[in-house]
Amino acid sequence: MAIVVTEIDRVSRTIADSIRGFGVATVHEAQGRKGLMLPYMKPVFQCASVAGSAVTCEVAPGDNWMIHVAVEQCKEGDILIVTPTSPCDDGYFGDLLATSLQVRGVRALIIDAGVRDIATLEEMNFPVWSKTVFAQGTVKATLANVNVPVVCAGALIHPGDLIVADRDGVVVVPRLHAEETLRRSREREARELQTRARLAAGELGLDIYNMRNLLAEKGLKYVTKNKEE
């Protein structure tokens, strides 16, 4: 038995649109250095960043049946998250499913498995982050759940959570923390702009962050020659 949850609370589209530009590194810092997917998740072509609301989809290994079910649950502004119930590199997703998602206004696919037809995905400009690229086809025989909490590439995702993805990877922000994380991302970005200007002017991080005393206290020594050698 398996279930499809049809009514989920989504993160607001305004929040997603506002946070997109800050990027994954900033957003993950802003929510306390958590929520990142593992670093093997890569964009299959070099695309801009995306942000949206998660629709989650489990799939059996080598079986993409439930993606067809999940497509129907997707709305404009969503990002589809697909995770196999055991590790699999097969090519679960190609240009046909991408066409279906694109016409519904889905912003991206994040899949802890393989995808194929990536030349066409790039022509269509449908962004995908995946574990690998593999042409291997799949069957349609086994049920799994849609819109239940899933672990995808090491990160826990609830349906409706905020997803941000760019060339640095993918981060998940719990829906109820999205607004605060947006606010903190803005603040962090503003601080970083100032710091960047000072660094570009030649100031050192050692001085801007007042590190010299603490380094000395911990025991850092400056020597002119390495006596060990």
Q: In the numeric block, which tokens belong to residue 72?
A: 């129907």
How many Cβ atoms from other residues are within 10 Å of residue 103's Cβ? 9
Of 14 and 167, CB closest to its own copies: 167
Q: Give CA–CA dist 18/111, Å, rounded.
A: 24
36 has which bridge partners?
171
Q: Give CA–CA dist 165/88, Å, rounded.
A: 22
CB of 105 to its own copies, least distance (A): 11
8-state DSSP, 1? -
Q: Which stretch binds its own copies (CB under 8 A): 11-19, 164-172, 179-187?
A: 164-172
Which residues between 169 and 198 bind its own copies (CB under 8 A)?
169, 171, 192, 195-196
Per rule CB under 8 A, is residue 25 in the interface with its own copies?
A: yes
Of 38 and 190, CB closest to its own copies: 38
Which residues between 47 and 66 bind its own copies (CB under 8 A)?
49, 60-63, 65
Per rule CB under 8 A, is residue 15 in the interface with its own copies?
A: no
Q: Tell me the one-letter amino acid at 226.
A: N
Q: In the numeric block, which tokens belong to residue 149?
A: 């909490």
Per rule CB under 8 A, is residue 202 in the interface with its own copies?
A: yes
Binding mask 81-120 for its own copies (x = CB under 8 A): ----xxxxxxx--xxxx-xx--xx---------x-xxxx-
Of 18 and 61, CB closest to its own copies: 61
Instruction: Kindly give the pairing relationship between strand 50-59 and strand 78-84.
Output: parallel
166 has which bridge partners?
169
CB of 14 to its own copies, least distance (A): 23
